[in-house]
Structure 1
């Protein structure tokens, strides 16, 4: 048999924890010396301890763990539970990494306050554009992952539908947004994924065909992931204010995806186009 210290070392838990498990009846020692009170464990008890720790890592309370241990959760069921928990943790890590990248980007923006360069913001008159599109509902800019998760799958699906319909894509893919409130205080938006199709004839093909109206817009090319689009948005907002102009409410930018290599978000190039209201005699630049 193993002393409590040796058992703790081999199982990589603390002696204090083993004593606690003994006190609540979760893992009793195999033997307690009646004279010294020393606790001793067997190697076989490591299996029970591993199950306890696995279930604890899944987020169950010790009371719940005890019930499950006594009900003898089989190895296959436990393996499935651990795989599910692993997937959940991996997803959480991905979300946390995205949040960390966003915090870093905002810190960089704060560091450049007072030194905003708006030289790359241009005024453009953008002609009407006929597009094929699919749309979805998302939770809005307060929940950027909702937009990505709902919008991104639409582009490959739309491209597939266009190919099946024999309709050629004539330009860069784009996205635009509209408010889509469904109740008081709701900030959901309708996100549209679109491809230009020129004057192509289209029958019934599982997508919508619309003509986006001509707009006067403040534009700038955003470099990097769209999760950091606020950097370019701030430049555009500063340029609009400096030029005495106003965005068309609610100020959503149209996004034209110029260069978007798979798996290389840092190399993405996206033109952000903010429609302007009352541009008057604003001068177009190329």
Structure 2
């Protein structure tokens, strides 16, 4: 069968060296819509090398393309059946503006959801000073379940109670997917109208991880005083798509040490985009 869970889980982790510098950070931040207004001191910390801070969601693109997550032993799937179901990052310390590190990846879990399988692809990144971050991507593979494996834990969270503490809107530029893909995700689904139609969309869609980064930036800017070093962890479930040119509505609920968030697309009657979203912070 295309997924051999035992083989995938038993495979030796794969390691590769990754590097980044201020240009990679600045490009990533610009891909999230940072820099407007261009001279705003709060935006310059994302765009000006002399003041640069690293948004922790940069972990999802650092070294992009150097490690093939779906090429592990025991996994042979049709990429057209693959969806990014969720993403979690645990920060061990702030990400430096310039870095050289070793990323070690493995299939951490394979879950059987009946009509689909879920792969948890884990990447652990460390530099000479020790661990930097651990990233888990939950990959949903349609048509690959039913092999008798563990169904895995439920990641759904109860809906936040009461009205949000803050609601903000963030516009998605028409060219934002074209800029964001320069950070390493070259899937033509986000740029080529003909390819998007083959995938069932009437036009290219925004990268889910771009929405993920935009949401974290909104939380850091409005709830954490712009201090990226306060972020300890960040998780979400991808609940729907975003089209370039739309507007994100981000609702936030504050509790001790965490911010819950939901993200919807304003122009499509608040269609869900991100759900079960939590930012853990100091």
TM-score by length of 1: 0.31
User: Whose Rg is larger?
Assistant: 1
TM-score by length of 2: 0.31
Q: Using CA pairs below 8 Å that are at least 6 residues apart, which structure has the higher relative contact order? A: 2
Q: Which has the higher helix share?
A: 1
Q: Which has the higher strand share?
A: 2
